[in-house]
């Protein structure tokens, strides 16, 4: 459920008519709804209310990569969430948004020494390390600082997530984690390193998961591994089950499992683990809390269906061109008529296509359209291809709204390039 609804024939974000934002800020622009974000936090927390997770309860560390806007992170921090970060940049953003260091988990295959030093000096909750060489580097860095780094190994369970290949991470050929069969040896090596406090396991098999089966299979393997690790003398006190729960994009497709069903599966599988559970949800928290608002530049007749050319492009929302992702496209002021069209951006690539042969609300030049469910992996993946400025972002609450990232002036983009002295 989201808070983008038609009122008096005009699409609103909560109580704010989207044309008001388009007129004031220009388009394209991302618009986020606070009430929708807060609702998803509450739903996810409620879904996990019954899981066994020690005395502190589960740690829900929002995957910052899904939406790193500081205002969004601050909203989540206020709602009690921690952060799952994968770079120094994300770590600093989370801290700047008010996420306490002891609610931060550092994931990622390529942490540098500098990033490790930063995270250690901040005092984060846990490093999820992904290889034995990484364990050695982290131990050296921590030892040099007179510290011991709290770590979990991310395990690659060799479970196929059944999602798009580019966002599937739990197969043995994927770059992520320590191979399941290598885990016991990896823990033994890491436990002997002076700078590490090896205390957990972590797993994340992919994103936009629409079936709980693969996650259950992965978690069951993790449960067995915890028992084996304990038998080998390791004190395992945390288990990080990652993120990945899918959200509905296409209303014509079956709805992915709801957080409640996910929570019940987790409760079932993890009963008796005797650990603190960690979660790293991204998309399910912010996915449908954001839309990309865009204006139709012109409608160009095609040999077949017309091309609706909008002022948003693949640089603003990469998901359709990268993953053939489906985003619902709605008119902000639908007039009741329908059309079938190809929705494209102005960029000079055929891949700059949001939808082909899409049955949608009829639109005309000057009309506003929204790409729905763009709150996750939208603005954060935007770039400046074709010298288009980064997309601004707006946060709404009730009848209030604020620009939470300004439109980058094109002059700033140009000024960032420096001419060498010989030109």
Residue numbering of the annotated binding site for substrate = 283, 319, 323, 349, 377
Among 177, 195, 281, 290, binds ligand LLP (CB under 6 A): 281
Q: Which is nearer to ligand LLP, 164 or 267 (CB)?
A: 164
Region for residue 274 given its phi and psi (left: phi exceeds 0; alpha: psi -120 to 50; beta: otherwise): left
Are the C-beta atoms of residues 202 and 169 closer than 8 Å to each other?
no
- If binding means CB under 6 A, how many residues of this protein chain bind ligand LLP? 22
Q: Which is nearer to ligand LLP, 28 or 281 (CB)?
A: 281
State the binding site.
244, 280-283, 319, 323, 349, 377
Nearest to 59 by CA among 51, 68, 67: 51
Q: Should residue 219 be labelled a site residue for ligand LLP when binding is judged by CB under 6 A?
A: no
Among 283, 295, 327, 330, binds ligand LLP (CB under 6 A): 283
Establish whether 289 is a catalytic residue: no
Q: Should residue 256 be labelled a site residue for ligand LLP when binding is judged by CB under 6 A?
A: no
Q: How far apart are CA 393 and CA 403, in angstroms?
A: 6
DSSP annotation string for 46-89: HHTTTS--TTT--EEEEEGGG---HHHHHHHHHTT-EEEESSHH
Among 107, 158, 288, 397, binds ligand LLP (CB under 6 A): 107
Q: Should residue 200 be labelled a site residue for ligand LLP when binding is judged by CB under 6 A?
A: no
Close Cβ partners of 254 (under 8 Å, ≥ 6 residues apart)? 210
Alpha carbons within 13 angstroms on the beta-carbon side of residue 127 total 36
Among 93, 221, 295, 319, binds ligand LLP (CB under 6 A): 319
Q: How far is the CB of 89 from ligand LLP (least distance, A)?
A: 15
Q: How far is the CB of 398 from ligand LLP (least distance, A)?
A: 27
> Applying CB under 6 A, which part among 58-66, 88-96, 188-196, 229-237 lies near ligand LLP?
58-66
Among 13, 22, 37, 63, binds ligand LLP (CB under 6 A): 63
Helix (H) or strand (E) holding 37: helix 34-47
Token digits of residue 249: 């994009």
Q: Should residue 84 be labelled a site residue for ligand LLP when binding is judged by CB under 6 A?
A: yes
Nearest to 333 by CA among 27, 105, 89, 11: 11
Among 82, 170, 177, 244, binds ligand LLP (CB under 6 A): 244
Q: Should residue 323 be labelled a site residue for ligand LLP when binding is judged by CB under 6 A?
A: yes
Q: How far is the CB of 44 from ligand LLP (least distance, A)?
A: 10
Nearest to 190 by CA among 105, 131, 240: 131
Q: How far apart are CA 286 and CA 32, in angstroms?
A: 9
Q: Should residue 370 be labelled a site residue for ligand LLP when binding is judged by CB under 6 A?
A: no
Among 242, 257, 375, 392, binds ligand LLP (CB under 6 A): 242
Q: Which is nearer to ligand LLP, 16 or 225 (CB)?
A: 225
Q: How far is the CB of 238 from ligand LLP (least distance, A)?
A: 15
Are the C-beta atoms of residues 58 and 240 closer than 8 Å to each other?
no
Q: Should residue 377 be labelled a site residue for ligand LLP when binding is judged by CB under 6 A?
A: yes
Q: Should residue 177 be labelled a site residue for ligand LLP when binding is judged by CB under 6 A?
A: no
State the binding site for pyridoxal 5'-phosphate.
244, 280-283, 377
| 42-55 burial code (b ≥16 CB/10 A, e <16) | ebbbebbeebbbee
Among 109, 147, 167, 413, binds ligand LLP (CB under 6 A): 167
Q: Which is nearer to ligand LLP, 31 or 155 (CB)?
A: 155
Among 87, 207, 270, 391, binds ligand LLP (CB under 6 A): 207
Cβ neighbour number for residue 211 with a 10 Å cutoff: 14
Please tell me which residue in 1, 348, 414, 415 is annotated as part of the active site: 348
Q: How far is the CB of 318 from ligand LLP (least distance, A)?
A: 7
Close Cβ partners of 287 (under 8 Å, ≥ 6 residues apart)? 66, 247, 373, 375, 376
Q: How far is the CB of 78 from ligand LLP (least distance, A)?
A: 20
DSSP annotation string for 295-358: EEEEEE--SSSPEEEES--TTT--HHHHH-----EEESS--S-EEEEEEE-SSSSTT-EEEEEE
Cβ neighbour number for residue 356 with a 10 Å cutoff: 14
Q: Should residue 204 be labelled a site residue for ligand LLP when binding is judged by CB under 6 A?
A: yes
Q: Which are the catalytic amino acids?
A: 348
Residues interacting with ligand LLP, by CB under 6 A? 63, 65-66, 84, 107, 167, 204, 207-208, 242-245, 280-284, 319, 323, 376-377
């Amino acid at each position: 459920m989201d808070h983008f609804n038609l009122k008096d024939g005009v699409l609103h974000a909560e109580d704010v008519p989207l044309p008001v934002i388009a007129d004031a800020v220009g388009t394209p622009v991302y618009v986020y709804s606070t009430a929708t974000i807060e609702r998803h936090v509450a739903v996810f927390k409620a879904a996990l209310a019954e899981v066994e997770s020690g005395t502190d309860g589960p740690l829900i560390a929002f995957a910052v990569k899904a939406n790193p806007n500081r205002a969004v992170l601050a909203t989540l921090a206020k709602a009690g969430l921690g952060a799952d970060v994968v770079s120094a940049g994300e770590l600093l953003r989370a801290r700047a948004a008010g996420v306490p260091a002891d609610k931060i988990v550092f994931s990622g295959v390529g942490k540098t020494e500098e990033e490790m030093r930063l995270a250690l000096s901040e005092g984060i909750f846990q490093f999820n390390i992904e290889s034995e060489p990484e364990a050695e580097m982290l131990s050296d860095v921590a030892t040099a600082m007179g510290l011991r780094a709290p770590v979990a190994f991310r395990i690659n369970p060799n479970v196929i997530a059944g999602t798009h290949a580019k966002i599937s991470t739990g197969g043995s050929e994927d770059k992520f984690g320590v191979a399941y069969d290598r885990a016991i040896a990896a823990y033994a090596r890491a436990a002997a390193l002076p700078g590490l406090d090896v205390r957990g396991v972590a797993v994340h098999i992919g994103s936009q998961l629409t079936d709980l089966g693969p996650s259950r299979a992965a978690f069951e393997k993790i449960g067995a591994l915890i028992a084996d690790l304990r038998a080998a003398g390791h004190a395992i006190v945390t288990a990080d089950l990652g993120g990945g729960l899918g959200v509905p994009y296409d209303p014509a497709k079956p709805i992915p499992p709801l957080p409640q069903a996910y929570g019940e599966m987790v409760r079932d599988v993890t009963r008796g683990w005797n650990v603190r559970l960690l979660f790293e949800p991204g998309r399910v928290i912010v996915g449908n809390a954001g839309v990309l608002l865009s204006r139709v530049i012109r409608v160009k007749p095609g040999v077949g269906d017309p091309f609706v050319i909008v002022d948003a492009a693949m640089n603003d929302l990469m998901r359709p061109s990268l993953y053939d992702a489906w985003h619902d496209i709605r008119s902000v002021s639908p007039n009741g008529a329908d059309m079938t069209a190809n929705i494209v951006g102005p960029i000079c690539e055929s891949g700059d296509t949001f939808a082909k042969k899409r049955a949608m609300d009829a639109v005309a030049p000057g009309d506003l359209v929204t790409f729905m469910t763009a709150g996750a992996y939208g603005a954060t993946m935007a770039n400046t291809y074709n010298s288009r400025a980064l997309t601004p972002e707006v946060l709404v609450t009730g009848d209030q709204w604020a620009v939470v990232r300004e439109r980058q002036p094109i002059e700033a983009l140009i000024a960032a390039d420096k001419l060498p002295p010989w030109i």
